[in-house]
Structure formats: structure tokens, C-alpha cells
Chain A
């Protein structure tokens, strides 16, 4: 009984160690990074909405 417990604990330790390695070496998500970059660049350079939204402050509202 006791040795069973020891065995399972050491097994858990090995698995935890392995998963830690995998987590550290996780690959760089290039596609997600491109998407994030596009979003930020569109915001900074205002590429998405600078065509018509030039502050319609004094334009009369359509009735």
C-alpha cells in the first residue's frame, strides 16, 4: 500500500516535470501574432475607419 502511494507520487512528479518542460518550450504562435499586430497597426494608423468618420460634428443629421 505504502509503496503504491510512493509510486504514484513519483509518477505524478515525473509527469509534472515533463509538462513543465513542454510549457516552457511552447512554440511562438506566429499566426496569432500577425493578427494581433494587424489589429494594433490598424488602430495606431487608423486604417480601418479614416475613410468617412472625420467627425460629423456639424453635419446635419438625416431626418
Chain B
């Protein structure tokens, strides 16, 4: 019985220390997949930035971007904007998925996307548009 108690104590100690170690994790964001997506988004940002500034594209409340108002955009460029937005959103969705998967918790994807949604908007430059519950707002 004494031996059994000893085993129990050792196992509980191991279990507790491992759950404590899990309690404050730093998210891993340096996997090759995440870096590749980041680089692609960084390269695209130069093309997107003028459209954020003009209000043609806005930040959505779910961490993506959307075409908002293309009246300021010349007709010939409108198709290009749609393609840019689609490519950016594909990268963003992949990014959220990869961060969740890269940290061993694919089910965190939605939470990660929600976290990013708030941070993109917080860090947006003034004059850019973002989506709130009541519609598009100018920052």
C-alpha cells in the first residue's frame, strides 16, 4: 500500500508539473509554413495599402478584408482589386489555420482568427475603414 501511494504521488507530481508547463505557453509563430504565408502577405501589402487608404478595401470584423467601395477605383483596376482581396483572404485563412495547427490545437483556429480581427483593426492607420457591428467605420 505504501508503494502504491508513492507511485501515486510521483505520477500526480509529473502530471501537475506538465499541466503547469502547459498553462502559460507562448504561441509558436515561426514555423516554415507561417513564415511563407507572412512573406506573401508582406509582399502584397504594398499593393493593398493605397486601397485601404482610399477606402476601397476595409478590414472586416472576422479578421479578413473586403471590397467596400470601388467608386474611387478606375474601372480597369476593379477586377485587380477583387483578385487582391481574394488572395489576401486565402493567405489570412491559411495563416490562422497554420498557427492553430502549428501549436497542436487545430480547434483554436476560430479563437485565433477572432484575436487577429481585433488586432488588425487596432493597428490600422487612421483613415482606414473597418467593420463594426453597426457597419463600416472610418478609423
Contact B111 A35 (CB under 8 A): no
Q: In the complex, how many residues of chain B place their beta carbon closer than 8 angstroms to a beta carbon of chain A?
A: 32
Check A36–B42 contact: CB distance below 8 A.
no
Chain B hits for A19, CB < 8 A:
15, 18-19
Q: What is the distance, in angstroms, from A23's C-beta to the closest C-beta of chain B?
A: 7
Given A22-B19, A29-B25, A43-B42, check contact A38 B119 (CB 8 Å): yes
Other A-B pairs, 11, CB within 8 Å; known A11-B7, A23-B22, A33-B112: A4-B3, A8-B3, A19-B15, A22-B19, A33-B108, A33-B115, A35-B26, A36-B26, A40-B116, A41-B123, A44-B41
Q: In whole angstroms, what is the CA distance A44 to B108 when docked? A: 22
Name which residue of chain B comes closest to A29, CB basis.
B25
Asked if B111 and A32 make an inter-chain contact with CB atoms under 8 angstroms apart, the answer reads no
Interface residues of B (CB under 8 A from A): 1, 3-4, 7-8, 11-12, 15, 18-19, 22, 24-27, 29, 34, 38, 41-42, 45, 95, 99, 105, 108, 111-112, 115-116, 119-120, 123
Q: Measured between alpha carbons, how far is A8 from B10 in the docked complex, in Å?
A: 12
Query: Please, how many angstroms separate the alpha-carbon atoms of A44 and B123 in the complex?
Result: 11
A28 with B108, Cβ < 8 A, contacts A11-B7, A34-B119, A45-B123 known: yes
Residues of A contacting B: mostly: helix
Cβ-defined contact, B22 with A43, below 8 A: no
| Interface flag for A30 (CB, 8 Å) | yes
Chain B contacts for A28, CB-based, 8 A: 105, 108, 111
